[in-house]
């Protein structure tokens, strides 16, 4: 099996190095017979040293000029050569436990893809509440968080990848497509419950609770209108890091 770890990155010079180091160290700790791997970083038109950091870490570097997270993820996948894809965010850290659980799910032959329960490295009380709420929704609905999504490469391609029109919530669109692809093939979509995939809690400190609430309310506007809204996209690329 070949695993492609795909990392979209926009102006992530502060955290990308630590993310890629965690990937490198985790892969070194998890030698498996027949396992090959590659790391693909999609530079989403950064204006800082993100591309240099990716190259210095030995990652395959892809450039995507359209600043939309769904498009960046798809561009990274288009450059990947693995038969399984793992998408993680540039502000997150890959742990040996999460990778091991993902590889076991992949090797079981039972799933088209899946996600993982998440956590933040630091968070206020309301951030902890949001994480717990999301994890409950994730388990109930079998929705993957965008910071950790994995799937078969053929399933990703045949299901159409991340919906390119979505500026947010693209992982929910992919999960829905993978479930539809896998059902007639007897393949499910799983959420890993043992490990927690840890990302930066920076948004809890860079944005006010009211700003974050406004973003969530816009995203919830039916039918997915908020996830297509350019205001959401501007907030994701507003430069706060």
For residue 223, cis peptide bond before it (omega within 30 degrees of 0)? yes
Residue of 88, 17, 22 lying closest to 53 (CA atoms): 17
Residue scoring higher pLDDT (221 or 131):
131
Q: Residue 169: its pLDDT value, please?
A: 85
List, for residues 35-60, the tens digit of each pLDDT value.
Answer: 999 999 999 999 999 999 999 999 99
List, for residues 54-113, the tens digit of each pLDDT value.
Answer: 999 999 999 999 999 999 999 999 999 999 999 999 999 999 999 999 999 999 999 999
Q: Catalogue all structural domains in the chain, each as residue range(s) with its CATH number.
A: 2-236 (3.90.550.10)
Residue of 113, 92, 118, 91 lying closest to 102 (CA atoms): 113
Q: What number is the average pLDDT over the span 126-133?
A: 90
pTM of the model as a whole = 0.93
State how far the Cα of 207 lies from the Cα of 2, in Å rounded to an integer. Answer: 38
Residue scoring higher pLDDT (154 or 216):
154
């Amino acid at each position: 099996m070949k695993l492609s770890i795909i990392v979209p990155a926009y102006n992530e010079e502060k955290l990308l190095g630590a993310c890629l180091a965690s990937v490198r160290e985790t892969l070194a700790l998890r030698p498996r017979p027949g396992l090959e791997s590659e790391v693909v970083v999609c530079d989403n038109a950064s204006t800082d040293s993100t591309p240099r950091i990716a190259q210095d870490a030995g990652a395959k570097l892809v450039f995507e000029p359209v600043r939309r997270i769904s498009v960046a993820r798809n561009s990274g996948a288009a450059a990947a050569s693995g038969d399984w894809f793992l998408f993680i965010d540039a502000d997150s850290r890959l742990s040996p436990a999460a990778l091991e659980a993902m590889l076991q799910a992949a090797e079981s032959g039972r799933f088209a893809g899946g996600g993982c329960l998440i956590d933040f490295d630091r968070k206020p009380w309301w951030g902890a509440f949001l994480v717990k709420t999301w994890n409950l929704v994730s388990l109930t609905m079998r929705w993957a968080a965008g910071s950790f999504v994995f799937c078969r490469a053929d399933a990703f391609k045949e299901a159409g990848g991340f919906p390119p029109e979505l500026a947010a919530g693209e992982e929910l669109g992919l999960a829905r497509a993978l479930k539809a692809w896998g059902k007639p093939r007897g393949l499910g979509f799983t959420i890993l419950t043992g490990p927690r995939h840890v990302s930066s809690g920076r948004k809890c400190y860079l944005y006010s609770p009211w700003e974050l609430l406004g973003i969530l309310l816009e995203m919830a506007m039916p039918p997915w209108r908020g996830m297509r809204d350019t205001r959401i996209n501007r907030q994701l690329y507003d430069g706060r890091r």
